Structure 1
């Protein structure tokens, strides 16, 4: 298995020559398999890829990242073979932050190849992180907060053995998400579509309304029904938005 094989899952190839690759990055501790349900809804000429970070699936025992720079360097190196052709990023929550940082790198190395950046459930870079910080809580309080957020089944969160394996990954990536801030004056060239859940108590319209400021092209903020994890609860609606915007970008 190559480094790229470990990092990137091809969830669906395009039925024809791919017009664009959609590279998806999950939320903290999330599985890239969460995006597989999008396969049937995406336009037939869109290839669907997902990034598999350390600490889950086949990479469960791989070392976790504690700082942004090595995470970015390694993720970008694994994605490089896929960034030479037209592509777009979708990142959710922590994944939205990582997708934004990768867009900066991709636009430097492969100009005009990033068609669009989609961010879901992710505060804009200029919005301060809410406090108290989630990653500093005790295990019991941390698990209770995760259950309130609704991203994982209760039976998983209440399984002590399973959570002993998963908590370090979730906590570590939430820590990175909470430490993230605006490091790039000027934003990115790619259009940005920022999507939030109407009932999201974490990243509402208030936290996401400034995302258009971070595109030197076009930017928009779109509301969907659902909470913080609308990408799974309202996947077809989100995929429709993605299809529509990618079609517009190709027009």
Structure 2
């Protein structure tokens, strides 16, 4: 891997001969540490790869990317050498857009298709958002919005000073999502698993369900308790579902 690829992609569970690679794509403001504790069962022989976009954690001094296509192109360039065996994408919120558009970019450029897409906490990309933009909110309004998004999650970040320190990259990611423009293309010929939370103030369950239009094989929405960051509280249950579906996808 090049140094740029090593900066962007981090392997959380190296395997000498992986049968599968799972790439976990971040939600707004998050980085590689968002999935730091993710592990898959040993019998899958899987590597878990996380993404460290510029502007966060150990890349905090670098300017963040502000457009989804720029993030997706950087991911394609970095990940391509690792797509030599079955792979899957898991994306939450902004990460779901990244996973979807990365799969479409790979198709357009003649690359391999993922064995599975896991799309969590994001409305179907052809639906207009009904929540007001967040990237331009003032300091106090942004903090309130982040608290609303966290909802009942006990694992969500609540530290005011830390959130204010993270605000520039959070705003940049919000801007990227708000500027995103869906371009119609044929549905992906990739199995898609959908995940949502009942108390999510940003995205309704029915909006997540509408992803069915963008794949030839979409599973019903798996619904969890909690707000927009439900996966922080329900990591083990989410991983159980991911592992079970990856086992089926790679056995086919």
- 1:83-129, Cα deviation, whole Å (9 max, x unpaired): 23211000110111111111112234455541011011011112111
- CA–CA separation in structure 1 for the residues paired with 2:211 and 2:111: 21
State the Cα distance separating 1:43 from its structure 2 match: 5.0
Q: Give the C-alpha shift of residue 229 in structure 1.
A: 1.0
- Counterpart Cα distance in 2 of 1:110 and 1:24: 22
Q: Alpha carbons of 1:130 and 1:145: their partners in 2 closer, same or farther (altered >3 Å)?
A: same
Cα distance in 2 between the residues matched to 1:153 and 1:73: 29
Name 1:27's counterpart in structure 2.
27
> Does 2:6 align with 1:5?
yes
Contact preservation (8 Å) 2:83, 2:112: no
- Per-residue deviation at 1:3? 0.8
- State whether residues 103 and 113 of structure 2, in contact with CA within 8 Å, keep that contact through their aligned partners in structure 1: no
Deviations 1:13-38, CA, capped at 9 Å, x for gaps: 24x63221000011101122121222
Worse-matched range after superposition: 32-41 or 135-144: 32-41
Q: How many Å apart are 1:170 and its aligned residue?
A: 0.3
Q: 1-side partners of 2:61 and 2:110: how far apart? A: 32
CA separation in 2, counterparts of 1:186 and 1:130? 25
Q: With structure 2 as the length reference, what TM-score do the two structures score?
A: 0.89
1:231 is the counterpart of 2:235: no
Shift of 1:67: 2.5
| Post-superposition offset of 1:220 | 3.2
- Given that residues 41 and 236 in structure 1 are in contact (C-alpha distance below 8 angstroms), is that contact kept between their aligned partners in structure 2? no
* Deviation of 1:165 (Å): 3.4
Taking the TM superposition and a 5 Å limit, the aligned residue runs for 1:99-178 are: 99-109=99-109, 111-150=111-150, 152-155=156-159, 158-159=160-161, 162-178=162-178
RMSD: 2.0
Q: TM-score, normalised by structure 1?
A: 0.90
* Post-superposition offset of 1:222: 1.5
Contact 2:18 2:46 survives alignment (8 Å): yes
- Listed as ranges, the gaps of 5+ residues in structure 2 are none
Cα–Cα, structure 1 residues 207 and 42, in superposed 2: closer, same or farther, change >3 Å? farther
Aligned length: 246
Structure 1: gaps of 5 or more residues = none
